[in-house]
């Protein structure tokens, strides 16, 4: 690919993101604003929209969202359930989980899906869940969430279940120095994401793909126990 092709791809990303942002529901737009005011940067709108579509594509009925103040992704996953199934949101930050609980409360009359919000670190809460009960796991936020969740994924996911890791390029932090893309960026998130990609791709129980959606999404499908 030449320089013009890369420039066009950059413009295409911006176009797709602007398009997804304009399609956000008033509820999601308000949640995004609330989260930013509370100090929780939210991921790209196109990324969250893809996650909602992923719930429908996989016919997932049991979903786990592990994030740190990731309210937009959480709401899009809930929307993807179309009023059925269950969504468990796990957040180690008290303020982040308070936001999620507040939004779940406003949705109580709009959905029959079971919505649960848990304030606990992933490595503490996930081992308590039943094995083989989940179709989809999404991971976002603090770097500590990623490896801890993947450690439990083979046990928690059904065969053909999916785990999706967002912000694999480690660009959501405004202070990022190029993130995963820049070998000189030795920030905690960038280092953790480089290690994560190697870890997940080397696991023979999963088939994987890394995509440039949003700030990088790594998908892994469980093919064997």
pLDDT of the residue at 154: 98
For residue range 136-169, list pLDDT tens digits in order. 999 999 999 999 999 999 999 999 999 999 999 9
For the cut 90, the answer to whether the pLDDT of residue 4 exceeds it is: no
Token representation of residue 204 = 């023979």
pLDDT at 1 over 80: no
In which element (H, E) is residue 211 found? strand 206-211
Query: 31-54 burial, b if ≥16 CB within 10 A, otherwise e?
Result: bbeebeeeebebbbbbbbbbbbeb
In 38-166, alpha helices (H): 45-57, 71-80, 94-107, 122-125, 144-156
Which residue range is the domain that position 9 belongs to? 3-222
Q: How do residues 43-87 score in pLDDT, each as one tens digit? A: 999 999 999 999 999 999 999 999 988 999 999 999 999 989 999
Task: Assign 2 a pLDDT band (cuts: 50, 70, 90).
Answer: confident
Read off the pLDDT of each residue in 4-22 and give the average, rounded to a whole number. 92
Q: Report d(CA 40, CA 27) in Å as an integer.
A: 17
Give the CATH number, domain containing residue 83: 3.40.50.150
pLDDT of 22-42, one tens digit each?
A: 999 999 999 999 999 998 889
Alpha carbon 203 to its chain centroid, in Å, reads: 20
Percent of residues, the chain, with pLDDT higher than 90: 84
Q: What is the pTM of this model?
A: 0.95
> What average pLDDT does the structure give for the chain?
94
pLDDT for 3 beyond 80: no
Tell me the mean pLDDT in the region 189-196.
96
Please state the domain count of the chain: 1
CA-nearest of 83, 75, 84, 85 to 51 is: 75
- Of the listed ranges 2-6, 38-42, 47-51, 96-100, the least confidently predicted one is 2-6
Q: Which two tokens stand for residue 175?
A: 């202070």
Task: Please give the C-alpha separations between residue 69 and each of 31, 57, 97, 213, in angstroms, as whole numbers.
Answer: 11, 25, 7, 20
Which tokens go with 66? Answer: 């592990």
């Amino acid at each position: 690919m030449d320089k013009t092709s890369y420039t066009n791809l950059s413009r295409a990303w911006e176009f797709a993101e602007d398009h997804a942002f304009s399609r956000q529901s008033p509820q999601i737009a308000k949640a995004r604003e609330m989260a930013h005011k509370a100090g929780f940067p939210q991921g790209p709108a196109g990324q969250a929209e893809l996650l909602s579509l992923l719930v429908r594509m996989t016919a997932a009925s049991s979903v786990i969202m592990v994030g740190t103040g990731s309210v937009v992704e959480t709401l899009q996953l809930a929307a993807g359930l179309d009023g059925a199934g269950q969504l468990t949101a796990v957040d180690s930050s008290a303020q982040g989980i308070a936001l999620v609980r507040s939004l779940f409360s406003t949705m109580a009359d709009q959905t029959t899906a079971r919505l649960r919000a848990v304030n606990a670190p992933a490595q503490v809460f996930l081992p308590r869940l039943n094995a083989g009960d989940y179709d989809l796991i999404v991971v976002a936020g603090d770097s500590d969430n990623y490896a801890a969740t993947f450690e439990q994924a083979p046990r928690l996911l059904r065969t053909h279940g999916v785990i999706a890791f967002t912000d694999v390029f480690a660009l959501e932090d405004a202070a990022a120095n190029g993130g995963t893309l820049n070998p000189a960026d030795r920030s905690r998130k960038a280092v953790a994401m480089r290690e994560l990609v190697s870890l997940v791709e080397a696991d023979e129980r999963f088939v994987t793909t890394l995509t440039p959606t949003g700030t990088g999404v790594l998908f892994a499908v469980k093919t064997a126990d």
